[in-house]
A and B are shown apart, each in its own frame.
Chain A
Amino acid sequence: MTPTTEIAPMKEKLVVIGNGMAGMRTVEELLKLDPALYEITVFGAEPHGNYNRILLSPVLSGEAQFDDILLNRPEWYAEHGITLYAGSKATRIDRVHRQVIAADGMAVAYDRLLIATGSRPFILPVPGHGLPGVVGFRDIADVEVMLDCAQKYRHAVVIGGGLLGLEAAVGLVKRGMTVRVVHLADTLMERQLDSAAGQMLQQELESRGVEFLMGAKTKEIIGRQRVQGVLFEDGREVSADLVVMAAGIRPDIELAKAAGLHCERGIVVNDTLQTYDPRIYAVGECAQHRGQTYGLVAPLFEQAKVCANHLARFGIGRYVGSVTSTKLKVSGVDVFSAGDFLGGPDSEQIVYRDPGAGIYKKVVLQDNRIRGAVLYGNTLDGAWYFQLMREGADVSAFRDSLLFGQAHLGDAGHGQHSPVALMADSAEVCGCNGVTKGDIVHAIRSKGLFTLDEVRAHTKASASCGGCTGLVEQILASVVGSDAAPADHQKPLCPCTEHSHDAVREAIRARHLTSIAQVMRELEWHNTDGCPTCRPALNYYLISTWPAEAQDDDRSRFVNERLHANIQKDRSYTVVPRIWGGVTTPAELRAIADAAEKYDVPMVKITGGQRIDLVGVQKEQLPAMWADLNAAGLVSGHAYGKALRTVKTCIGSQFCRFGTQDSVQMGIDLEKFSWGSWTPHKFKMAVSGCPRNCAEATIKDFGVVAVDSGWELHVGGNGGVKVRVTDLLCRVKTAEEVIEYCGAFMQLYREQARYLERTAPWIERVGLDYVKKQMVDDAANRAALHQRFVAAQRIAQHDPWAARADSAHRLDFVPIKDLTPSLPNAARA
């Protein structure tokens, strides 16, 4: 007896056992990929829609209502055509007939089955564990029992001093109970904290009224009608009206085991989250992957994504395990830990301890890379350490100030400077779109958001210049409690693919791919057209890797790079001719003035890069205007492109009484050498004629500062979203060397930075030492890089304006048909 009708279309049937966060996340991901592939049935043991289990603690403590933490309401299931049996427990999986049987005997057939049964609290098997008043801390029913007890009774005992137990204890204290926490080990949260941090935590919680019985082993739970007390092995006894068992969780694998699926601690799954029966998948806390089971939300979402991908028959995603961090969600108590926080003989520890202020920080390093961290009292930098850890970043450059946090890095830290926890709700986080911290927190809570992309879509925060991305990620981490975002180097380039930037570029190089269509085919893109995120990136990777072979795809360029002008908000364009090294002539100025008058340019503006903006030109006029400018010898300044922009100069030794070298000539030479090249992001240079540095070379991507004995070369500066002073790369003696180093640096950046990554974050990611090794210490590699740049320039270095002023491209600039003012020449059907 199945609930489906015989006349239903022949969709495959997907049955999901478990209506929790892992199961529903997988369904949501699947619906995004292919909403119509399956007829979906969901069994949930609890009589509700899916809710955010992470936020049970705030419900217990009264900081949130159950309604606030609902993720999927009943209407959501109906809208997506999902049959939900809420409060109906699946009791058997019949693999032979491929059906799931519920407690009431109902059977539902499946083609594919997803098990997401989660976990159960581990109830100590001591006498009396079944008495009324003994609960786990797992679901909303447990919370209801606890709230009910808090109204009627006084004494609570929490067995287990881990994350869940402590959250329960603090919540119950807030509800007016006296609470004793019983813990077997000598340190609280010993799986997440070292003993120093554990003791500080204990003191803090004691000051809030929680009592602790450490090293206490429970022998028996006493009581007749209901629980009355707890007896310990050492003879101690305490009275209790409520006992919360928080001594750990166990993957809920009963169903799977009974169905004969291979289980160890959890249901054993492969990298596509399939069990030993390939029709059956398992995700979340019940699954065991590569020997690991997870009890946190971030890994579970990563699994959901891969599983959905496989269910949708793309089958190219792989789950390879997760690195996790934890954060205690007790307001006012800040604890963070990640990775290997204890350290061993082959690692080092850096420790900061200020008991008076209640602050403790420990970072475990191995080979100058973070292996783990514990923070107590001040966890603002947890997300930062965690990111450095996942990226495997070399921290030697700022090791001495590592424990003072990201804000302390100053110029070297290309990151945000305002810790999120201290920000007021009214503080503006995203300056581009006017989004406050309060807006973001509200959206995360009310819409159930977990990822940066979701926050971007719903609030627009960090969706424009991206300058606040780190802040938004920290806010997300502080609200959700655990960092759900995967590390950059493994993040898919965009939703069209599972491959990261680095993996795509490597495939283009290794497999000699030369067109976007070929990349999408070879790397199994989810759709044939890609999207506005991946196509420009692919186009860049192709033309920078195979400049002689790959065809530049106009249709995968943003409008500015396609029309070779900057679009403005009123749909007009800005035209910026190149002014080599910032030096011009009366004849050039006359030509610019003539063009400005002839084409009625509303604004003529001097730019920060020592050239002239002609702002407000209509698209149709661009080719004619360019032809006029070309006639005077002026070419495109690429002010619109991810390309070499300007080379700013000061007057230099030719006229300046302080100048030590001819910075003007050097600027002109550098610009003539490098113009026309495409780069991952815009690329700016400057040349100063003496260390007074009037050309501001130390906030450019490549800055040259003349000294008496030659030239200093500076790299990785930025004067925009986040100001960053350059790092000194090296000193050279001759002008030829400056050019060679410039070519080598630009090529290294072109070949290795991710698309839309400026030199500043790129250098912070790979380290200045790496850049030096590649192109300062290794002369042969420097020469090779330079040669590759020169070779690419032979193809790239042509004026796009001249090419487009001719008739072949003119069609791009004129309407296909002009039907104004009446309808002239209109053929009628």
Chain B
Amino acid sequence: MNNWIAIGTLEDIPRQGARVVQTASGEIAVFRAGDDAVFALANRCPHKGGPLAEGIVFDHHVACPLHNWKISLENGEARAPDVGCARRYAVRVESGSVWLDIQGKADAA
């Protein structure tokens, strides 16, 4: 069961950056990597809850602004030897619009 919502255009998200979607169950960070790939994760670092949307985005990773944990945008996993996982959400881009599924989990990247 998908629940796709248009959240804005790709251009609304800075390249190597992120924007936040407010939902009833918390914030979702929508990232746009340097190669324009788009990802969505719960905006909470699995370590101490840092806002991942404010981190430096590099390749398909983001570095949490609080303690520099590196989180994979593709699967939400922290880079070893740190251990933890941020929840992923399905997101896609269609003719410049970004669609987010705030209920469904993303398929394995």
Chain A nearest Cβ from B85, distance in angstroms: 18
Q: In the bound complex, do residue A816 and residue B5 qualify as a contact, i.e. CB atoms below 8 Å apart?
A: no
Contact code string A803-829 (vs B, CB < 8 Å = 1, else 0): 000000001100111111111001111
A822 to B49, CA, bound (A): 24
Q: In the bound complex, do residue B56 and residue A816 qualify as a contact, i.e. CB atoms below 8 Å apart?
A: no
Q: In the bound complex, do residue B24 and residue A817 qualify as a contact, i.e. CB atoms below 8 Å apart?
A: no
Q: In the bound complex, do residue B59 and residue A529 qualify as a contact, i.e. CB atoms below 8 Å apart?
A: yes
Contact for B66 among A531, A569, A812, A815, CB less than 8 A: A569
Chain A residues within 8 Å of B57, by CB: 529, 555
Chain B nearest Cβ from A221, distance in angstroms: 50
A536 to B68, CA, bound (A): 13
Chain A nearest Cβ from B96, distance in angstroms: 14
A555 to B62, CA, bound (A): 11
Q: In the bound complex, do residue B13 and residue A816 qualify as a contact, i.e. CB atoms below 8 Å apart?
A: yes
Contact for A817 among B2, B3, B8, B15, CB less than 8 A: B8
Contact code string A554-577 (vs B, CB < 8 Å = 1, else 0): 111111001100010101000000
Q: In the bound complex, do residue A571 and residue B5 qualify as a contact, i.e. CB atoms below 8 Å apart?
A: no
Chain A residues within 8 Å of B99, by CB: 829
What residue in chain B is nearest A496 (Cβ atoms)? B58
Known: A571-B51, A829-B4. A558 touches B24 (CB 8 A): no
Q: In the bound complex, do residue A828 and residue B23 qualify as a contact, i.e. CB atoms below 8 Å apart?
A: no
Known: A529-B58, A815-B19. A828 touches B4 (CB 8 A): yes
A567 to B56, CA, bound (A): 14
Q: In the bound complex, do residue B12 and residue A811 qualify as a contact, i.e. CB atoms below 8 Å apart?
A: yes
Q: Is A65 an interface residue (CB 8 A)?
A: no
Interface centre among B2, B67, B100 (most CB of A within 10 A): B67
Q: Is B63 an interface residue (CB 8 A)?
A: yes
Q: Is B21 an interface residue (CB 8 A)?
A: yes
Q: In the bound complex, do residue A818 and residue B65 qualify as a contact, i.e. CB atoms below 8 Å apart?
A: no
Q: Is A714 an interface residue (CB 8 A)?
A: no
Q: In the bound complex, do residue A535 and residue B30 qualify as a contact, i.e. CB atoms below 8 Å apart?
A: no
Q: Is B86 an interface residue (CB 8 A)?
A: no
Q: In the bound complex, do residue B21 and residue A535 qualify as a contact, i.e. CB atoms below 8 Å apart?
A: no
Chain A residues within 8 Å of B30, by CB: 816
Q: In the bound complex, do residue A559 and residue B5 qualify as a contact, i.e. CB atoms below 8 Å apart?
A: no
Chain A residues within 8 Å of B59, by CB: 527, 529
A819 to B24, CA, bound (A): 7
Contact for B22 among A531, A535, A562, A820, CB less than 8 A: A820
Chain B residues within 8 Å of A811, by CB: 12, 19
A629 to B72, CA, bound (A): 39
With an 8 Å Cβ cutoff, the count of chain B residues facing the other chain is 43
Q: Is B46 an interface residue (CB 8 A)?
A: no
Q: Is A532 an interface residue (CB 8 A)?
A: yes
Q: Is B34 an interface residue (CB 8 A)?
A: yes
Chain B nearest Cβ from A254, distance in angstroms: 39
How many A residues are at the interface, by size bracket?
35 or more
A555 to B55, CA, bound (A): 9
Q: In the bound complex, do residue A826 and residue B58 qualify as a contact, i.e. CB atoms below 8 Å apart?
A: no
Chain A residues within 8 Å of B84, by CB: none
Q: In the bound complex, do residue A815 and residue B34 qualify as a contact, i.e. CB atoms below 8 Å apart?
A: no
What residue in chain A is nearest B3 (Cβ atoms)? A828
Chain B residues within 8 Å of A527, by CB: 58-59
Known: A567-B65, A817-B8, A823-B5. A529 touches B20 (CB 8 A): no
Chain A nearest Cβ from B37, distance in angstroms: 11
CB contacts under 8 Å to A, within B64-84, are 65-68, 70, 81
A72 to B65, CA, bound (A): 34
Q: In the bound complex, do residue A819 and residue B63 qualify as a contact, i.e. CB atoms below 8 Å apart?
A: no
CB contacts under 8 Å to B, within A578-601, are none
Q: Is A458 an interface residue (CB 8 A)?
A: yes
Chain B nearest Cβ from A516, distance in angstroms: 10
Chain A nearest Cβ from B57, distance in angstroms: 7
What residue in chain A is nearest B6 (Cβ atoms)? A827
A567 to B58, CA, bound (A): 20
Q: In the bound complex, do residue A555 and residue B15 qualify as a contact, i.e. CB atoms below 8 Å apart?
A: yes
Chain B nearest Cβ from A455, distance in angstroms: 11
A569 to B64, CA, bound (A): 12
Q: In the bound complex, do residue A532 and residue B8 qualify as a contact, i.e. CB atoms below 8 Å apart?
A: no
CB contacts under 8 Å to B, within A505-537, are 527-532, 535-536
A530 to B59, CA, bound (A): 8
What residue in chain B is nearest A823 (Cβ atoms)? B5
Chain B nearest Cβ from A599, distance in angstroms: 19
Interface centre among A536, A557, A569 (most CB of B within 10 A): A569
Chain B nearest Cβ from A804, distance in angstroms: 14
Q: In the bound complex, do residue B24 and residue A821 qualify as a contact, i.e. CB atoms below 8 Å apart?
A: yes
A811 to B20, CA, bound (A): 11
Contact for B16 among A536, A555, A569, A822, CB less than 8 A: A555
Interface centre among B5, B55, B57, B58 (most CB of A within 10 A): B58
Q: In the bound complex, do residue A532 and residue B17 qualify as a contact, i.e. CB atoms below 8 Å apart?
A: no
A569 to B47, CA, bound (A): 12
Q: Is A457 an interface residue (CB 8 A)?
A: yes
Contact for A815 among B6, B22, B55, CB less than 8 A: B22
Known: A567-B66, A817-B7, A819-B102. A530 touches B58 (CB 8 A): yes
Chain B nearest Cβ from A818, distance in angstroms: 4
A816 to B18, CA, bound (A): 9
Chain A nearest Cβ from B105, distance in angstroms: 17
Contact for A556 among B49, B56, B100, CB less than 8 A: B56
Chain B residues within 8 Å of A536, by CB: 56
What residue in chain B is nearest A816 (Cβ atoms)? B19
Contact code string B1-45 (vs A, CB < 8 Å = 1, else 0): 011111110001111110111111001001001100000000000
Q: In the bound complex, do residue B65 and residue A816 qualify as a contact, i.e. CB atoms below 8 Å apart?
A: no
Known: A558-B56, A829-B99. A817 touches B14 (CB 8 A): no
Known: A529-B16, A558-B56, A828-B4. A816 touches B21 (CB 8 A): yes
Known: A555-B15, A815-B21. A458 touches B34 (CB 8 A): no
Chain A nearest Cβ from B98, distance in angstroms: 8
A563 to B20, CA, bound (A): 15
A819 to B103, CA, bound (A): 12
Chain A residues within 8 Å of B56, by CB: 532, 535-536, 555-558
Chain B residues within 8 Å of A562, by CB: 54
A564 to B47, CA, bound (A): 24
Chain B residues within 8 Å of A571, by CB: 49-51
What residue in chain B is nearest A819 (Cβ atoms)? B23
Chain B residues within 8 Å of A812, by CB: 14
Q: In the bound complex, do residue A828 and residue B5 qualify as a contact, i.e. CB atoms below 8 Å apart?
A: yes
A556 to B34, CA, bound (A): 12
A530 to B57, CA, bound (A): 9
Chain A residues within 8 Å of B15, by CB: 555
Chain B residues within 8 Å of A827, by CB: 5-6
Contact for B7 among A530, A816, A821, CB less than 8 A: A816
A650 to B103, CA, bound (A): 59
Chain B nearest Cβ from A35, distance in angstroms: 13
Q: In the bound complex, do residue A532 and residue B24 qualify as a contact, i.e. CB atoms below 8 Å apart?
A: no
Contact for A532 among B3, B20, B21, B68, CB less than 8 A: B68
Contact code string A676-690 (vs B, CB < 8 Å = 1, else 0): 000000000000000
Q: In the bound complex, do residue B50 and residue A529 qualify as a contact, i.e. CB atoms below 8 Å apart?
A: no
A535 to B56, CA, bound (A): 9
What residue in chain B is nearest A821 (Cβ atoms)? B24
Chain A nearest Cβ from B13, distance in angstroms: 7
What residue in chain B is nearest A457 (Cβ atoms)? B81
CB contacts under 8 Å to B, within A449-488, are 457-458, 463-464
A-B contact pairs, 9 of them (CB 8 A): A457-B81, A529-B34, A531-B58, A532-B68, A815-B20, A815-B22, A818-B22, A820-B22, A828-B3
Q: A567-B51, A828-B5 are in contact. List 19 more A-B contacts (CB 8 A).
A: A463-B68, A464-B67, A529-B16, A529-B34, A532-B56, A535-B56, A554-B14, A558-B56, A558-B65, A559-B55, A563-B54, A567-B66, A816-B12, A816-B13, A817-B22, A827-B6, A828-B3, A828-B4, A829-B2
Chain B residues close to A by CB (< 8 Å): 2-8, 12-17, 19-24, 27, 30, 33-34, 48-51, 54-59, 63, 65-68, 70, 81, 99-100, 102
The list of the 10 closest CB pairs from A to B, nearest first, reads: A816-B19, A532-B63, A829-B4, A559-B54, A555-B16, A559-B65, A817-B7, A532-B56, A529-B58, A818-B22
